[in-house]
Structure 1
């Protein structure tokens, strides 16, 4: 890893200590990454669901090699720090998760996230011990050269257990995670409970019902991401445009197209 890459990772971590939360949107390809960076966002993160959609697949249907190549391409497209959504590390074994982190560093990533979801319908979450061992292995591989985000996935699997979520995040903190993340939390009280229970920056996923940025700032949230929502907003605009053309035979979508085209011309220089 070059000194410049190491410095970028440290710059990324420092962005979590600003006066307001780091707004970190999630591009789904190199072009959307360049455009978002041109709009002034200081860091970006890939989205597993958004990337899968570009391949005509659902979330969870992308391989380790595909995710790593995609994240590296996004990182190479812009000068801002990029963190990769690596789902559960694409492996159960801690050593394999560590290997992915080392590959991410070699691929120019400034950060990555590892979740405690197994990917199995019958047993969706790792037990706390194995989950913590996986984060510890990832943290050892990162060694300050990459910002490691540890995710507790309870709320995405209909397990609204705040106490267990906090216990997991605390264990991940002790294992060496740099940032903590419990996607699915929308209650201000729950978010406050998480933030005050740990000593690491906390990321919140912007969902329907999530408090606005100003309120999250008051709650002590350090970072806000959007997951696949920008990617699917773009697909929603595509559906509307295609439906208008098919059903009405009109071209009202051209106004939104002109806005996108102008943004692209400004960004892609």
Structure 2
């Protein structure tokens, strides 16, 4: 499919509930697709860690572009990517990711742990929308607010931000850190766009989040953390106990080669 087809497909997926376990490299993306995901979403933290950098814009944008290009090449479904706060150049970052094949982005309203003003973030959303439009791709702009993630609990502020970001050109609203189902219900009813929540250990189930109005459910860094946690546990068992049983259950060597073979 062309980028235009993939963008249209990705947009249409939000007509129902879209569940996205987040990928961090080509192999994880391919396995997530094989598990049944209709699209792939990246995690900025996972991508950064896999490349030896920290999350929080620790990578150069070109490294993100390259990582996304490899993921796009490995799968047959739409790819949306986390661009954090835009790496200091929202329009340029969007242009680079569209060129790499991405058809969606997450853009957050905090930088270095500081929440941006609503107008400042709305302006960045507008820059992202204009850059994608100039490239001729109907990019799905998922505007993320970090009010809850940074320890706040002002639902009215979140609603106001969501409405401002949508008015500026966002197609969806991402609210990580919000797990209270009543607050989520209020938010989804107040925002005229799909609301994305982040789930992990201890989160309400997909069914509960859907009943509260969520239209997109992603896992952020949680899947990458689980994979790295398994790596550490297995390595400790080998090095400290001299046992290898925890290596059971891995993906077969031949299958991985087949999945990532020439396409």
- Using the size of structure 1 for normalisation, the TM-score is 0.90
TM-superposed CA distance for 1:98, in Å, is 1.8
> Secondary structure of the equivalent of 1:114?
strand
* Unaligned 5+ runs, structure 1: none
2:190 maps to 1:194: no
Equivalence for 2:96: 103
Match of 1:138 among 128, 142, 159: 128
| Residues 16-36 of structure 1: per-residue CA shift (max 9 Å, x gap) | 102xx2111211111111111
User: d(CA) in 1 for partners of 2:60 and 2:67?
Assistant: 11
Verify the 8 A CA contact 1:35 1:263 in the aligned structure 2: no
Render the CA deviation track for 1:10-67: whole Å, top value 9, x for unaligned: 110100102xx21112111111111111121100111111111112332111222212
The CA distance in 1 between the partners of 2:35 and 2:260, in whole Å, is 12
Q: Is the 8 A contact 2:74 2:260 kept in 1?
A: no
Match of 2:52 in 1: 56
1:65 and 2:62 are equivalent in the alignment: yes
User: Retained in 2: the 8 A contact 1:186–1:207?
Assistant: no
The residue number in structure 2 matching 1:79 is 76
Contact 1:105 1:145 in 2 (8 A): no
The residue aligned with 1:212 is 205
Determine the C-alpha separation between the residues in 1 that align with 2:160 and 2:146: 12
- Any residues of structure 2 matched to 1:1-269 within 5 Å, and which? 4-18=2-16, 21-60=17-56, 61-91=58-88, 96-119=89-112, 121=113, 124-143=114-133, 145-257=138-250, 259=251, 261=253, 264=256, 267-268=259-260
Displacement of 1:266 after TM fit?
6.3
CA distance in 1, matches of 2:163, 2:182: 18
Question: 1:113 is paired with a residue of what secondary structure?
Answer: strand
3-state DSSP class of the match of 1:155? Answer: coil
User: 1:221 and 1:146, CA in 2 relative to 1: closer, same or farther beyond 3 A?
Assistant: same
Deviations 1:146-198 (A, max 9, x none): 11110011112112222111111110011111111011111101211211111
Q: CA 1:199–1:77 in 2, change beyond 3 Å: closer, same or farther?
A: same
Secondary structure of the 2:173 match is: strand
Aligned-partner Cα distance in 2 for 1:47–1:263: 24
TM-score normalized by structure 2? Answer: 0.92
User: Contact between 1:6 and 1:146, CA under 8 Å: does it hold in 2?
Assistant: no
8 Å contact from structure 1 (residues 35, 268) kept in 2: no
The number of equivalent residue pairs is 257
Which aligned segments of 4 or more residues in structure 1 are displaced greater than 3 angstroms?
A: 259-263, 265-269
Q: Secondary structure at the match of 2:110?
A: coil
Q: Which runs of 5+ in 2 are unaligned?
A: none
